[in-house]
Structures are given as structure tokens and as C-alpha cells.
Amino acid sequence: MLPMRATKAIIHLDNLEHNIKQIKQTLAPETKICLPVKADAYGHGAIRTAITAIRAGVSYLAVASVQEGIELREAGIVAPIISLSLPILEEIDSIIDYKLEPLVIDEEFINELNRAADAQKKTVAVHLKIDTGMSRIGCKPSEAVKLATQIVRAKHLRLQGVATHFAVADSDAESDRAFTKNQLERFRDAIEAIRQAGIAIPLVHAANSGAVQLLPEARFDMVRPGLLAYGYLPIQGAATALDVKPVMELVTQVVLIKQIREIGRASC
């Protein structure tokens, strides 16, 4: 048995339940919550966090990699899981086998995923990610209709959602709020264009914790609050602050108290 350490993290799952209830109170009854549990739920323990969150009313989970999704599935988690990072082609079979929902942003991956799903005679739910200004993962808004059309025409794919991510929604600086509003406008235009093409979108999702707190119009069909769920306010002191509690508590023991003699400055 390994010796105990002086410092340890205590996880308060009751606070996670409390925080999820607080978030739900700000949402319309039909709005779903997707909880990010990537990186072992930020050190809180992905499996126990996922189980607690689902019992508290979370509809979706989000992971950073296919491997993280596999670990949840092998632990018995059956809730829908979105993989937020772009997978490589070699991970496609695992995506299908473990019923993960990947982000898609280009024609090549959509074709390869459909081809592999066809070989297994299965259907894969995917989420089209649009880059509205974060300049990370996502297609251009101008490409959204073309890619959404490709997805719905693919025999073994199902367009489950369309998403974006706000870069600075956790800032109340005037310039950052303007940037987020611009992102929201681009996203809305892309969503409207997809719908004008006759394509239904089951889940539109964009709002991270900052947008949940400050931008109600960005909540759409589902929100993805990380900071809030784990007990931290993106914007301290805001009028829209939620009563959230930290899920992780760090506890330690004092192992040394040392008195050090004052040393005056050496004369020049």
C-alpha cells in the first residue's frame, strides 16, 4: 500500500449536483446540458463525475479524445458522448464501436466515416463544428451548408448537432463582449442558412460557462458549461452570478514551521 500524502483533493459530488441544478434554473425547460468531463473531468474523476451529472439531469457528456470516450463506455456510461477534438482516421472504427459522436469539419473525414459506418451497417451521429472566430477547430461559416448537405446525404451518418465555441465569452470587457456578439451573429447566420436549405438540426449548441452566465440568447438547444458546473464563476461579481460551489477541495497538513532570522540589507 502506498503511503498517504499530506496534501489531498476531496471531491464534493453533492456540490456538483447543486451546481447543475443552479445552471438548470437559468435555462428553458427543454434546453439540455452537455458536461465536459475531459482530462479526467479536470481531475475530479471522469467516471464518478459523469454518473453524478447524469443523475442530476445532464443529457450529454463531452470528452477531449476518443480514448476518453472509450473509458466512459467501458465503465458502463450509456449517455451520448461528444468527442471535442478532431479524431484521426485510425480512430474511426472505435468511434463507431463505442457509439461516440464526433465533431466533423471537412469532406474527407465525413466520407471516410460514412464509408466505415457502411461497412459495419451502422449509423453515426455527428456534430458539425463551425469556427466563428476562435480560429481553432471548425469549418468556415461559408462552408456550413455544403458540409451539412453532405452529412444528410450520407446514408450512414446523422446530423445530430451544429456547434461553435466562444473565444472570450468569459470576459466582460467591452471589446470582448463585442467580439462574442459578432461570433453569435455569424453562428446564427450559418444556422439559418442550413435551415433554409431544408436541413433540420436537432441540437444547436454554443454556450460555454461565460455565455450561460452573460449571454442568454446563445443558449439555443444545449449548453456546455465547464467552469460553472465545477463551481467557479467566469465573471465574478456579475449581476447574473449563480450560486455555485467548488466541487474540489484541497486539504493539507502543516509539516514544517520555521522561524528565519531577519537579515538586514548589506551596506554598499
pLDDT tens track for 146-156: 999 999 999 99
Of 212, 229, 231, nearest to 220 (Cα)?
212
Give residue 132's pLDDT: 98
Distances (CA, A) of 263 to 224, 257, 260: 53, 18, 9
Q: Which of 128, 134, 32 is nearest to 86 (CA)?
A: 128
Kindly indicate the confidence band of residue 196, based on its pLDDT and cuts at 50, 70 and 90.
Answer: very high
The confidence score (pLDDT) of residue 120 equals 97
What single letter denotes the amino acid at residue 24? K
239 pLDDT more than 60? no
Work out the number of other CB atoms within 10 angstroms of the CB of residue 119: 11
Distance between CA 117 and CA 25 in Å, rounded? Answer: 39
In which region does residue 169 sit, left (phi positive, over 0), alpha (psi from -120 to 50) or beta (all else)?
alpha
Q: What angle do CA 193, 197, 203 make, to 5 degrees?
A: 70
Kindly indicate the confidence band of residue 26, based on its pLDDT and cuts at 50, 70 and 90: very high
Q: What percent of the chain has pLDDT over 70?
A: 95
Q: Cell numbers for 233, please give them.
A: 464563476
pLDDT band at 38 (very low <50, low <70, confident <90, very high): very high
- DSSP string over the chain: -PPPPS-EEEE-HHHHHHHHHHHHHHS-TT-EEEEE-HHHHHTT-HHHHHHHHHHTT--EEEESSHHHHHHHHHTT--S-EEE-SPPPGGGHHHHHHTT-EEEE-SHHHHHHHHHHHHHHT--EEEEEEB-SSS-SS-B-GGGHHHHHHHHHHSTTEEEEEEE---SSTT---HHHHHHHHHHHHHHHHHHHHHHHTT---SEEE---HHHHHH-GGG-TTEE--SHHHHT--SSTT-TT------SEEEE------------PPPP-
